[in-house]
Amino acid sequence: MKRLPLVLTFMVAMSWLVFSQVPKPEWLVTKNLPLSSQKTTFKMLIQAVPEVADFKTNWFTTWLEAKTNVAIDWIVAPNDSDAAKQKMNLLIASGDFPEIINSMPFDAALEAKYGTDEKILLPLEKFIDDPAVMPNLNAWLRKNPSFRGQITAVDGHIYGFPNINVCYHCTLQQKMWINQDWLKKVGLKMPTTTDELYNVLKAFATKDPNGNGKADEIPLIGATDGWNSQVDPFLMSSFVLDPGMNQKLKLLVDTKSGKVMSALNQAGYKDGLKYIAKLYREKLYYGNSIIQKNDQGRQLLASGVVGAFMGGYPGVMIDGADKALWRAFVNVPPLKSPSGYSSTPFYVNDGVRPDRVLFTTALKDPKLAARWVDLFYTYEMGLHKTNGEPVVRWHWASSTETGLDGKPAIWVPGGTAKVADPNGSWQQQGIEFATAEFRNGQVSPPGVDIGSPDSLEPMLILASKANERAVRTDVVIMPNVSFTSQESEDLQIQRVELERYAESQRIAFITGATDVDAGWAAYLKKLGELGLAKVTSTYQSALDRQNKR
Amino acid sequence: MKVKKGMRRARGDLFFELVMGSFLLVVALVTLFPILFVVAASLSSPQAVIAGQVWIWPVDPTLKAYENILSNPKLSLGFLNSAIYTILGTITSIALTLMMAYPLSKLRLPGRKLLTWMLVFTMLFSGGLIPTYMVVRQLGLLDTWWAVVLTSALSPWNVFIARTYFRSLPDELYESATIDGSGELGQFFRIAIPLSSPIIAVVGLFSAIAYWNSYFTALIYLSDEALFPLQIVLRDILILGNLDLTRVFDFDAMVRRQGLSDLLKYAVIVVASAPLLVLYPLVQKYFVRGLLIGSIKG
């Protein structure tokens, strides 16, 4: 009996030897810790999130302070973005600055105002470009030089440290979901062309696939406000690349000539409108989709009458708790139009967001703060920050485990803890460093059931791989560019009218209020009068400027 | 003849009452329905709510949402904070309002017009957001309960209602008190206060509602999450479902939030409105009277 503990220890030690993969050194916080021999406190403004109970008493805050000897004096702004901005403006206007601004709803306009104009933000290039101060971020930027332009302000300075969360399936977020049970019922295959889709929707409408004897089926729905749940962009991309709902001017770049153009006045757009108008006319496209809210769409889905819908992921319209419904819907890869064209937008830039953390002129020790920020650009710090205590909430993967992409896994979520801790980590607040390698390095349990809502990420990766084949090389969506304050002022005025006209005409064409063929010439003329060319040329010069950098 | 006429009038009254009664019934139903719906939805499973099966009766009843709220440290702390602000603020507000209104009701108070004018002035003009913020900061009130309690403690509107009310008390009462040897303070505490329960109820309810719903003062003066009132936490949860589409770059957060929002939305509304709904019937009988006396005899 006395030997038992010894045996147990031995067994534990053996299992570690066999199963644990020593994390690679580049994943770890390698810098000498603590960062400073004497305790330093930074005054930091952060936006609250409901998932984090209190930043002051948070487990990660305590851990971080103990490791780095850097403490934080918190100023917490509400989760509501407008309120948070108001609070930040008030703090700055009253001269009561925070030293560091973290995870606030910052945008290019605010960056230009506080950085370029009022000069209360510190330029950060000298820290970023010094491998002795910021080794991790420096290494990442050298590996991914294309993102440098994106995080640089128009005046040539970098004012904010980026947030990196490269969600692979989000780069292919224009998705359509179809009810595979219904497909079977009506005896049709997964559509691959727009004409096949038309036949499928027609069959959904007429062949009573839900089997209740009533013609209550709605073949295809969308909504105005969900994540990629507008109906048109997916269908339009079969005729001309459609950058999606947030890009009302549908700006594209021709890769060969580098020219910025708009899809709005192209022949493909006209064909697309005709096709969508046909679906609308024959009631295959649920008319309310152009006005309804996402929640109304969810309600329709839950009542079992919908054949297909648009959405960045099924959860946009389906509640994961309804497992049977979730299982029924599968991804529809991009469709070919009669001319053979097909496309899907590739949101290459979306994983990297500028201005996650900014330094103000109130900061007393910017170099120390930069070293502190740099720690976050490691997987080890990210896992602690987002997931919490190691072993209890996550652990490194063993060498036998594979990740979501089939390569060796990096980490395993979950641990000895049975219940969630509302104050165990910062969740998504603070700098994230989730590269594609990291996200796909999450362990994939063997024998994963792809249809279950619990396997969301592996399912989306598979779906996105299928969709990626339709990504075009001859034309891409307009990348994020930064404007001078004069340019953005001009754009604001020019864009309002133009966007409003384009939107209302799109609706008019689709609903049949204006016939596409008859109204096309007048539409093109009006677009020209409203200055579409002027807008594209402004974007062109911003893009050229960014490419030069 | 007379009888007939009277009967006809009675019948007319009856008709009028019927029409009025049914009209008010409809209005009451229209008002009640959203409340009943929210309560029912808070007790139903989120799936049933999404599917639109909930009407005014819970479907698949569950207390999961309330369990979640009770175990959510942010919400329970917010509730506690709001309760503190409301109780503390209401007491402060009643005390200050009465102390201001009573002297103003005395016509012999020197400088009465100037004081009144100063009060009216604050109703029309304010110092502006940033100067006010700086005053609060320099008083050392930032990140304390007092930032919420004191910055909105005195409402001129309430002072005027209370002043008018005090004026409606007969002067003879005070005169007899003076004859019996009572000073000004004695008159205030022994005569004015005991007679003013209606106006105390009105001022109390007005300020309790204002403090319970206070959002903006807390938003700008408080930076410590442990001090946030329920309204800020509530708003944070209610907007979870309304995602800002240009900012969907954190997919995992989006997925998690959609679930939390579906689950908690309605229960949070119930929890946030329940205290006032309970309070209102208790003070209502004073409320109408106090407001009437306070406002009519200007």
Nearest residue in chain B measured CA to CA from A314: B255
β-pair partners for A165: A434
For A428-451, the pLDDT digits (tens) are 899 999 998 898 898 887 777 888
What sign does the dihedral A272-A275-A276-A277 (CA atoms) show? positive
Give whichever of A176-180, A244-248, B140-144 has the largest mean pLDDT: A176-180
Residues on chain A touching B256 (C-beta within 8 angstroms): 51
What are the tokens at A471?
């990504």
For B203-216, the pLDDT digits (tens) are 998 899 899 998 99
**Cβ–Cβ below 8 Å for B240 and A423:** no
Nearest residue in chain B measured CA to CA from A88: B220
**Contacts for A229 with CB less than 8 Å, ≥ 6 apart:** A222, A223, A294, A297, A309, A310, A311, A312, A316, A317
Average pLDDT over residues A309-331: 90
The count of CB pairs under 8 A between chains A and B is: 125
Write down the pLDDT at residue B268: 85
Helices then strands, each counted (H, E), chain B? 15, 0
Write down the pLDDT at residue A353: 87
Write down the pLDDT at residue A20: 52
Give whichever of A374-378, A493-497, B14-18, B261-265 has the largest mean pLDDT: A374-378
**What is the gyration radius of the CA atoms in chain A, in angstroms?**
26
Query: How high does pLDDT run on average in chain A?
Result: 89
Nearest residue in chain A measured CA to CA from B238: A80
A181 touches chain B (CB under 8 A): no
Between CA A399 and CA B66 the distance in angstroms is 43
Between CA B293 and CA B298 the distance in angstroms is 9
Write down the pLDDT at residue A374: 95
Do B235 and A86 form a contact (C-beta atoms < 8 A)? no
Do B85 and B148 form a contact (C-beta atoms < 8 A)? yes
**Cβ–Cβ below 8 Å for B245 and A246:** yes
Between residues 72 and 101 of chain B, which touch chain A (CB distance below 8 Å)?
72-74
**Cβ–Cβ below 8 Å for A456 and B255:** yes
Between CA A137 and CA A141 the distance in angstroms is 6
Write down the pLDDT at residue B244: 46
**HEC assignment per residue over A110-126:** HHHHHHHHCCCECCCHH
What sign does the dihedral A113-A119-A120-A121 (CA atoms) show? positive
Of A149, A175, A177, A172, which is closest to residue A162 (Cα–Cα)?
Answer: A149
For A248-274, the pLDDT digits (tens) are 899 999 999 999 999 999 999 999 999
For A91-125, the pLDDT digits (tens) are 998 888 899 999 998 888 888 889 988 999 999 99
**Distance (Å) from the C-alpha of residue A275 to the closest C-alpha of chain B?**
27
Write down the pLDDT at residue A452: 85
**Distance (Å) from the C-alpha of residue B96 to the closest C-alpha of chain A?**
29
Of B238, B273, B227, B272, which is closest to residue B85 (Cα–Cα)?
Answer: B227
Write down the pLDDT at residue A247: 86
The residue among A473 and A7 whose pLDDT is bigger is A473
B239 touches chain A (CB under 8 A): yes
**Contacts for A206 with CB less than 8 Å, ≥ 6 apart:** A215
Q: In what order do the strands lie in the sheet with A218-221?
A: A218-221, A306-310, A176-179, A329-332
Write down the pLDDT at residue A326: 92
Write down the pLDDT at residue A5: 54
Q: What is the residue type of A59?
A: W
Between CA A124 and CA A516 the distance in angstroms is 51
Nearest residue in chain B measured CA to CA from A302: B51
Do B177 and B117 form a contact (C-beta atoms < 8 A)? no
For B135-192, the pLDDT digits (tens) are 999 999 999 999 999 998 999 999 998 998 898 888 888 888 999 988 889 999 988 9
Per-residue pLDDT band for A507 (boundaries 50, 70, 90) equals: very high
A78 touches chain B (CB under 8 A): yes
**What is the gyration radius of the CA atoms in chain B, in angstroms?**
25
φ, ψ of residue A233 to 5 degrees: the values are: -55, -45
Write down the pLDDT at residue B253: 67
Write down the pLDDT at residue A31: 65
A245 touches chain B (CB under 8 A): yes
The residue among B140 and B9 whose pLDDT is bigger is B140
Write down the pLDDT at residue B71: 79
DSSP A51: T
**Distance (Å) from the C-alpha of residue A422 to the closest C-alpha of chain B?**
8
Residues on chain A touching B129 (C-beta within 8 angstroms): 90
Average pLDDT over residues A278-297: 90
* Residue B267, CA distances (Å) to A202, A214, B45, B263 in order: 42, 36, 11, 8
B220 touches chain A (CB under 8 A): yes
Do A72 and A41 form a contact (C-beta atoms < 8 A)? yes
* Residue A491, CA distances (Å) to A84, A184, A483, A487, A542 in order: 26, 50, 9, 6, 12
Cβ neighbourhood burial of A321 (10 Å; 0-12, 13-18, 19+): middle
Nearest residue in chain B measured CA to CA from A434: B250
A105 touches chain B (CB under 8 A): yes
Residues on chain B touching A77 (C-beta within 8 angstroms): 223
- Give the other-Cβ count within 10 Å of A336's Cβ: 18
For A13-61, the pLDDT digits (tens) are 444 444 455 688 888 886 678 898 899 999 999 998 887 889 999 999 9
Per-residue pLDDT band for B247 (boundaries 50, 70, 90) equals: very low
B162 touches chain A (CB under 8 A): no
Suggest the residue from B77, B135, B252, B265 to mutate for an interface test with chain A (most A CBs closer than 10 A).
Answer: B252
β-pair partners for A310: A176
Do B142 and B136 form a contact (C-beta atoms < 8 A)? yes
Please check the confidence at residue B264 and state whether its pLDDT lies above 90. no
Q: What is the residue type of A147?
A: F
A326 touches chain B (CB under 8 A): no
DSSP B247: G
Between residues 194 and 233 of chain A, which touch chain B (CB distance below 8 Å)?
225, 227
Per-residue pLDDT band for B295 (boundaries 50, 70, 90) equals: low
**Cβ–Cβ below 8 Å for A313 and B251:** yes
Query: How high does pLDDT run on average in chain B?
Result: 84
Per-residue pLDDT band for A150 (boundaries 50, 70, 90) equals: confident
**Cβ–Cβ below 8 Å for A322 and B258:** no
DSSP A434: E
Of B123, B89, B76, which is closest to residue B272 (Cα–Cα)?
Answer: B76
What are the tokens at A461?
């990766």
Between CA A157 and CA A279 the distance in angstroms is 49
Write down the pLDDT at residue A28: 85
Average pLDDT over residues A301-313: 92
The mean-pLDDT minimum among A354-358, B81-85, B180-184 falls in B180-184
- In terms of DSSP bridges, do strands A40-47 and A70-77 run parallel, antiparallel, or are they unpaired? parallel
Per-residue pLDDT band for B92 (boundaries 50, 70, 90) equals: very high
Write down the pLDDT at residue B256: 67
Q: Closest to B248 (Cβ–Cβ): which among A74, A227, A321?
A: A227
Write down the pLDDT at residue A509: 95
What sign does the dihedral B230-B252-A242-A306 (CA atoms) show? negative
